[in-house]
Amino acid sequence: GEDVEQSLFLSVREGDSSVINCTYTDSSSTYLYWYKQEPGAGLQLLTYIFSNMDMKQDQRLTVLLNKKDKHLSLRIADTQTGDSAIYFCAESQRDDKIIFGKGTRLHILP
Amino acid sequence: NAGVTQTPKFRILKIGQSMTLQCTQDMNHNYMYWYRQDPGMGLKLIYYSVGAGITDKGEVPNGYNVSRSTTEDFPLRLELAAPSQTSVYFCASSQKQGLKQETQYFGPGTRLLVL
């Protein structure tokens, strides 16, 4: 199948780290992406990782890729209220499609 | 650059009406995509195009048509609107060369309500 799976909700206290997980099925995926969607807005690319990399760090964001298990994660350090959004995992497939997960809604607790 | 622009922002249709959702990008990207996002759900690919004159079906193409006569424009046509087509529609574009796929840029979305 072409499914990209992620949990639907995550609650994290302000200042803690958030870890959003994703699994995908296409082993030929070349790029994997994390997008952020704030209420009423379109999707904004946060970061992406090429399939031959294990890790990518960009300021507060760390992406980990386990290609053997087809598992991708996004870690947000020092989570802030502005990080409250829906986070989508996506994979690019060899037939040029980009398949999105259903999104993880990140809720920040005070 | 304006990026990816979509019109209209919001539209209400009656069942059976038709309309065209417009999408334009000024980044000279070769790839363009149409997605729909239903409430509380992720994105579903409707159609995509790898270049002018070429279009392909995505996951949920039924009830829609597209054309790509120019690099810049990728309109999405609904011929006989149905309540199941109530959704938010996002257009996106990207540049792909060989195996290297650049990131997708998204438009702001078109909210469609079919009554």
Measure the CA–CA gap between A100 and A85, rounded to whole angstroms. Answer: 16
Residue A71 CA to residue A73 CA, distance in Å, equals: 7
Tokens of B77: 């046509």
For residue A1, give both structure tokens.
Answer: 């199948």
What confidence category does residue B100 fall into, taking pLDDT thresholds of 50, 70 and 90? Answer: low
- Mean per-residue pLDDT over chain A, rounded: 89
Residues of chain A found within 8 Å of residue B42, distances taken between Cβ atoms:
4, 88, 100-103
Percent of chain B with pLDDT over 90: 75
Least Cα distance to B25 among B110, B112, B108, B111 occurs for B108
pLDDT of residue A34: 94
Residue B21 to residue B23: CA distance in whole angstroms: 7
CA A10/CA A79 separation, integer angstroms: 12
CB B28 within 8 A of CB A89: no
Closest chain B C-alpha to A23 CA, distance in angstroms: 15
Q: Does B27 touch chain A (CB under 8 A)?
A: no
Compute the average pLDDT of residues A75-88. 95
Distance CA A41, CA A84 (A): 13
Assess A10–B contact: CB distance below 8 Å, yes or no: no
